[in-house]
Amino acid sequence: MFLFTFHFPCPEQLRLPAPPRWIPSSRRGGGSGGAGGSGAARCRCRCRCQCRYRFRCVPAARSAGRAMGPGPGLAAALLALLLPVLASARGPGAAACEVSPSGRFDCGPERLLSRAGCEARGCCYSPGPGPRSGPGPPWCFFPRGYRSYRAENLTATESGFSARLRRQAAAFLPAAVDELRLELALETPARLRFTLRDAARPRYEVPLATPRVHGRASSTLYGLQVSQEPFGLVVCRQSSGRVLLNTTVAPLIFTDQFLQISTSLPSHFISGLGERLTPLFLDTAWTRVTLWNRDMAPAPHVNLYGSHPFYLVMEDDGSAHGVFLLNSNAMDVLLQPSPALTWRTTGGILDFYIFLGPDPKSVVRQYLDVVGFPFMPPYWGLGFHLCRWGYSSTDITRQVVANMTAARFPLDVQWNDLDYADAKRDFTFNKKSFGDYPEMVRDFHSLGLRYIMIVDAGISSSGPPGTYKPYDEGLRRGVFIRNATGQPLVGKVWPGPTVFPDFTNPETHEWWHDMVKDFHDRVPFDGMWLDMNEPSNFVEGSQDGCPNNNLEHPPYVPGVFGGRLQAGTICASSQQYLSSHYNLHSLYGLSEAVASHSALLRVRGKRPFIISRSTFAGHGRYAGHWTGDVGSDWQQLYYSIPEVLLFNLFGVPLVGADICGFLGDTSEELCVRWTQLGAFYPFMRNHNDHGTRPQEPFAFSPPAQAAMRNALRLRYSLLPFLYTLFHRAHSAGQTVARPLFLEFPTDPNTWAVDRQLLWGGGLLVTPVLEAGQTKVSGYFPAGTWYSLAGDSTIHSKGQWILLPAPLDTINVHVRAGHILPLQEPAFSTAQSRGKGMALLAALTPDGFARGELFWDDGDSWETFERGDYTELLFLASNDAVLSQLLRASAHLDGVLLEAVTVLGVTSPPRRVLANGAIIRDFAYRSDTQVLRVPVSLPMWEQFVISWS
């Protein structure tokens, strides 16, 4: 029964307590979409909010934006919310069960129900043609108006509103929470937060630092309604009245270990909810996405290494909004074709952020305002990385580096997998095969290279006391996760019996720092590769099994691979400093990344460089990610693009897949195409499994090597542009690798494009993703696009174009209106950073382009925050390219601008000047309309290059 609705605010605000303008029932329209149906009625009052039920809109006062204290104004405003609306509260009649199959919400989430069992819950039963347990409409589903909670005592607060929710009917899952506390916080004009907590006792909440907001936004992009019974929220976009969130479509369920809330969706174009092997946009035809971090080689339809409970929806007019559930428990997210979405989580609270955008770029930035902007990687971290499980000695590792140099391939970072470790134990090295390990790393440094080694999460526990310091010290300091008896839980990973550090314990951070420092004092490594940190476990739960309790066997188990929470990991009931592993499991990789980031910063005094397999929301503040044990096949090559794009939306821009694949033998053609695409991963590393075909660039035929060398040199020439993109990500919450829809949201043709990617807004990459192809089709949004080489121009109306793509070519196009800073490539960034720079200016048809360069020493901590950097703005017109020095430092001293290329110069120049001096050896091609100007100008000074 709907007894009140509340809307704050509406496009045309009225001053409360002025009475609302009612529309008689006979004029209120259909609104017959049903529970989750696609039909949508407009609330016909001056606040134009769309809804799926016959809500009565109560316009909020202009003064409602101010914190409401006690007084007659507030009393009148809240009394105006108590509006009687008739609704049936009885069991499901025939009319209540008339719900379209696409809009049915499952009444038996934990098990299949018979007709009798279904109707005993007060639900509707309608057998369908498909299997009961497969994807498709549920046979047992909620009727309209199913009773759950009733909202009472709506009260204005400093930040928004609060209410009490009382359960009105028996729950069908154990330990139902009878009374909830609702908090609605109008945090910013584009961000709404609402939480549902147990009103009687505290529950676990994710220990993620989020913004603390005092007061409420005085005006908002969103409107809000609260339905009293059954309780529900409706959030609509003020400008259009479009409903973005409508939780009245299905009942709220809140028990100790099962929390469920559903919402309608305004469109089928929903992206996010990782980590999952998926196209860029999810399928809303009864798709289940499970979030519970798992050591699992990427495959469709299973939970993988990370959990990111955030989604972004594209709306019909190109607007976008996002939703983030701050919850780390095992969960399912179910999508259905009405369209609608259901969150099912196994613990914690319901803590939602809604981001109004209104464009997708703004949604991502608003999400990152909550979880944190990405860390700034060191410049060398953007170079080429090389690794293999199977470099079994320092001699072999040294030879790999020598082979790369001899074959004239760039290389910045050499890695080792577990081969280096003594008995595969962290913070050790094999004194036989890696006897000169410290000297090898120092020798790499003398060549201008960096070095990174793998660090697994499990700590070996099988050695005699006094023989392995990380275990002995950790045991003494109490830093390991404990089992039900209070003893360290023992699992099994690569070294054999292992224990697992509890990174939620502050003492563990100190112990971890000490272990990192001790090892760094012996082996001066430059970064850390965090693996097996879901955490992975080769036995289920522990070597002693797991207790038989409700944490190991909850009433509802999401669709985790293996069917049990402890499958492939440690016991859910094991205890950590902050809570049970049941609550904290998916935070393990993030908490290890936080500890490692802090340890590296303290030990090295420079920017930490960390790549981690396991991730959670906010991971990008501390580390990057590689996409795990991908197979060496063409399908995985394709899937790497949406994976990279999604992690950029999640705020983890430093991401890439293992180039040429990790599992299985690659082929020469596949490795060439993967290297060409990998040159445009933000994080570029070639890595493969032991026992498989060698896939270092020098291991292939001369033509293949030439193609790979060209791809690597192209990347190195673009590093100043890439580094500037990372600065914008770190300082402004932007993406680095970018899906097309982020730049072109009003072009629906871009929304599902996930076989191409952008760097920033100006560089479009169209790779070949299939075997035997020498042509590739790419979508070019409306505008002018120049090939990066300047030999062709596309004037697109928004169309697919077939491009030539021989094996030695990857198609890269520059968008008109952009200026890219380039640098002469070298064999490492240590060499390239001192070489000459160039500018590539791509003019729009009306003669404009813009670009920027961020430059610092590439390694020091918080150079931007301390103001120790140089920033240049580049502008171009029909007759000039110039620079403006926005901030100066000494870091560009000695670097010269040696060439300027201008694309789209329509008339042949007769004279070219550089800072007023005549340039006689410029070149212009009328067929391609490209002007090339050789110069020698200090990058640290402003310049003007003009032509007439």
pLDDT above 90 covers a percentage of the chain that reads: 89
59: which DSSP letter? P
Can you tell me the distance from the alpha carbon of 75 to that of 735, in angstroms, rounded to the nearest whole number? Answer: 46
Across residues 259-282, what is the average pLDDT? 98
Q: Is the confidence at residue 60, as pLDDT, over 70? A: no
pLDDT of 91 reads: 53
Q: Is the confidence at residue 73, as pLDDT, over 60? A: no
pLDDT in tens, 324-365: 999 999 999 999 999 999 999 999 999 999 999 999 999 999
Residue 15 pLDDT grade (very low, low, confident, very high; cuts 50, 70, 90)? very low
Cβ burial, residue 19 (10 Å; 0-12/13-18/19+): exposed
pLDDT in tens, 809-859: 999 999 999 999 999 999 999 999 999 999 999 999 999 999 999 999 999
pLDDT in tens, 760-819: 999 999 999 999 999 999 999 999 999 999 999 999 999 999 999 999 999 999 999 999
Can you tell me the distance from the alpha carbon of 572 to that of 927, in angstroms, rounded to the nearest whole number? Answer: 67
Can you tell me the distance from the alpha carbon of 583 to that of 277, in angstroms, rounded to the nearest whole number? Answer: 24
pLDDT of 88 reads: 35
Determine which one of 315, 426, 456, 531 is catalytic.
531
pLDDT of 85 reads: 34
Determine which one of 419, 456, 534, 743 is catalytic.
534
pLDDT of 24 reads: 26
Q: Is the confidence at residue 608, as pLDDT, over 70? A: yes
pLDDT of 93 reads: 81
Phi/psi of residue 669, nearest 5 degrees: -65, -45
Can you tell me the distance from the alpha carbon of 651 to that of 272, in angstroms, rounded to the nearest whole number? Answer: 11
Helix H segments across 314-465? 360-371, 394-406, 437-446
pLDDT in tens, 296-315: 999 999 999 999 999 999 99
Phi/psi of residue 77, nearest 5 degrees: -65, -45
Across residues 722-733, what is the average pLDDT? 98
pLDDT in tens, 634-688: 999 999 999 999 999 999 999 999 999 999 999 999 999 999 999 999 999 999 9
Residue 134 pLDDT grade (very low, low, confident, very high; cuts 50, 70, 90)? confident
Asked about 534 being catalytic, the answer comes back as: yes
Q: Is the confidence at residue 583, as pLDDT, over 60? A: yes
Round the average pLDDT of the chain to a whole number and report it: 91
Helices (H) and strands (E) in the chain — how many of each?
A: 16, 52
Can you tell me the distance from the alpha carbon of 139 to that of 132, in angstroms, rounded to the nearest whole number? Answer: 7
Give the rounded distance of the alpha carbon of 453 from its chain centre: 25
Residue (of 15, 11, 3) closest to 64 by Cα position: 15
Report DSSP letters for 643-688, one per residue: HHHHHHHTT--SEE-EET-SBS---HHHHHHHHHHHTTSSSEEE--
pLDDT of 130 reads: 65
Per DSSP, the three-state class of 444 is helix
Can you tell me the distance from the alpha carbon of 930 to that of 924, in angstroms, rounded to the nearest whole number? Answer: 6
Can you tell me the distance from the alpha carbon of 655 to that of 734, in angstroms, rounded to the nearest whole number? Answer: 15
The verdict on whether omega for the bond into residue 547 sits within 30 degrees of 0, i.e. cis, is no
Are 484 and 547 in contact by the 8 Å Cβ rule? The answer is yes
Report DSSP letters for 237-297, one per residue: ETTT--EEEEGGGS--EEBSS-EEEEEE-S-S-EEEEES-S--SB---SSEEEEE------
Report DSSP letters for 677-710, one per residue: HHTTSSSEEE---TTSPP-SGGGS-HHHHHHHHH
The verdict on whether omega for the bond into residue 825 sits within 30 degrees of 0, i.e. cis, is no
pLDDT in tens, 447-479: 999 999 999 999 999 999 999 999 999 999 999
Are 224 and 234 in contact by the 8 Å Cβ rule? The answer is yes
Spatial neighbors of 911 by CB under 8 A, at least 6 apart, are 918, 947, 948
Per DSSP, the three-state class of 727 is helix
Give the number of other Cβ atoms within 10 Å of residue 296's Cβ: 21
Q: Quick one: tokens of 228? A: 């009293």
